[in-house]
Amino acid sequence: MPLSLALSRRQRARVFRGVQYAVLLLAIAAFALVADWGTLREAFFDVDVARALFPEIITTALVNTAFYALLGFGFGLGLGLVLAMMRLSSVPPYRWLAIAYIEFFRGIPALLVFISLGFGVPLAFEVALDMNVTVMLSLGLVGAAYMAETIRAGIQAVPKGQWEAARSLGMSPGRAMVSIVMPQAFRIVLPPLTNELILLTKDSSLVYLLGLSLGQFELANFGRDALNEHKSLTPILIAGLLYLVITLPLGHLVRRLEARTAKAR
């Protein structure tokens, strides 16, 4: 009689789980034996290299990353709001324009926008855009397309009765929007907008393309530069961890906000 038949279903599940743990432990053990710990440690966590990165990797790179992300986010939010309003307009051409914009910028790689603004526009129009303006536009133009859709969905998620109640009290469309609909939509869109900020934080690494001066380095650029200098992966690892310093708390915030919204329903 085969072994499996002699076991109950629960016993079989326990055996199966045991096997899974055994495989995992074996894999870890094998990796620990095979891996060249000395080289790995040197490549990824060279204490001397790490020490040399500070404090600039914080005071310049991390700060610039956050600054670029916020720059793009601020511009994108403003433009996204306008696009959302156009998208909901009763004037069809406004709707068409907004839809065209949103579909276009959601459909193309952000990289292309960076190249266009960073190199294309200066070459074609012979204008030198300010670095911060270039970053703001590059990150914001794409971000706005996503945020416009988020905001539109948020506005539409506010029950129609709210709008009707506001208008019935004599509020103008603008007043009803600002005092009644927007505050409620804002609560609904806060979690997805925070998510957008996380994405922009990561996308800010594309600034790397623009050929920055030292003081303008953000995390990816800074890491890359230090990698060349020290021939070590340590800067990259630390840059990655510093992204997490921004994105993990924001992600936590998103989950808290979502839980709060779910409770309020």
Partner 1 sequence: MKAGKEPASPEQACQSGQSGQSGQSGQSGQAGQAGQAGQAIEVQDLHKAFGDLEVLKGIDFSVGRGEVVCVIGPSGSGKSTLLRCVNLLEEPTSGTVTVAGTEVTDPDVDIDRVRRRIGMVFQSFNLFPHLTALENLTIAQRRVLRRGKEEANRVARRNLRRVGLSEKEAAYPAQLSGGQQQRVAIARALSMDPELMLFDEPTSALDPELVGDVLAVMRSLAREGMTMLVVTHEMSFAREVADRVVFMDGGVIVEQGTPDRVVGDPQHERTRTFLARVLDPAAAEVGEVPDVGPHTKRVDR
When binding is defined by CB under 8 A, the residue of 18, 183, 211, 249 that contacts partner 1 is 183
Cβ at position 189, least distance to partner 1 in Å:
14
Residues 187-226 contacting partner 1, CB under 8 A:
187
Q: Which is nearer to partner 1, 155 or 246 (CB)?
A: 155
Cβ at position 263, least distance to partner 1 in Å:
10
Is the Cβ–Cβ distance between 95 and 85 less than 8 Å? no
The separation between CA 235 and the C-alpha centre of its own chain, rounded to angstroms, equals 21
Hey, what's the torsion of the CAs at 184, 188, 85, 99, to 10 degrees?
-160
Cβ at position 173, least distance to partner 1 in Å:
9
Angle (CA) 36 41 43, round 5°: 95
Q: Which is nearer to partner 1, 103 or 164 (CB)?
A: 164
**Count of beta carbons in the 10 Å neighbourhood of residue 153:** 14
Cβ at position 184, least distance to partner 1 in Å:
6
Please tell me whether residue 165 binds partner 1 under the rule CB under 8 A: yes
Is the Cβ–Cβ distance between 254 and 81 less than 8 Å? no
Please report, as a single letter, which amino acid is at residue 213.
S
Query: Which one, of 196, 195, 225, lies nearest residue 61 by Cα?
Result: 225
Please tell me whether residue 172 binds partner 1 under the rule CB under 8 A: yes
When binding is defined by CB under 8 A, the residue of 6, 91, 262, 264 that contacts partner 1 is 264
| DSSP character string of 124-153 | HH-----HHHHHHHHHHHHHHHHHHHHHHH
Q: Which is nearer to partner 1, 174 or 215 (CB)?
A: 174
Q: How many residues bind partner 1 (CB under 8 A)?
A: 20
Please tell me whether residue 89 binds partner 1 under the rule CB under 8 A: no
Residues 145-164 contacting partner 1, CB under 8 A:
159-162, 164
Cβ at position 166, least distance to partner 1 in Å:
8
Q: Which is nearer to partner 1, 139 or 176 (CB)?
A: 176
Structure tokens at 2: 């085969």
- Which residues, including other chains, have CB under 8 Å from residue 81's CB and lie 6 or more apart? 147, 148, 151
Contact residues for partner 1, defined by CB under 8 A? 159-162, 164-172, 175, 179-180, 183-184, 187, 264
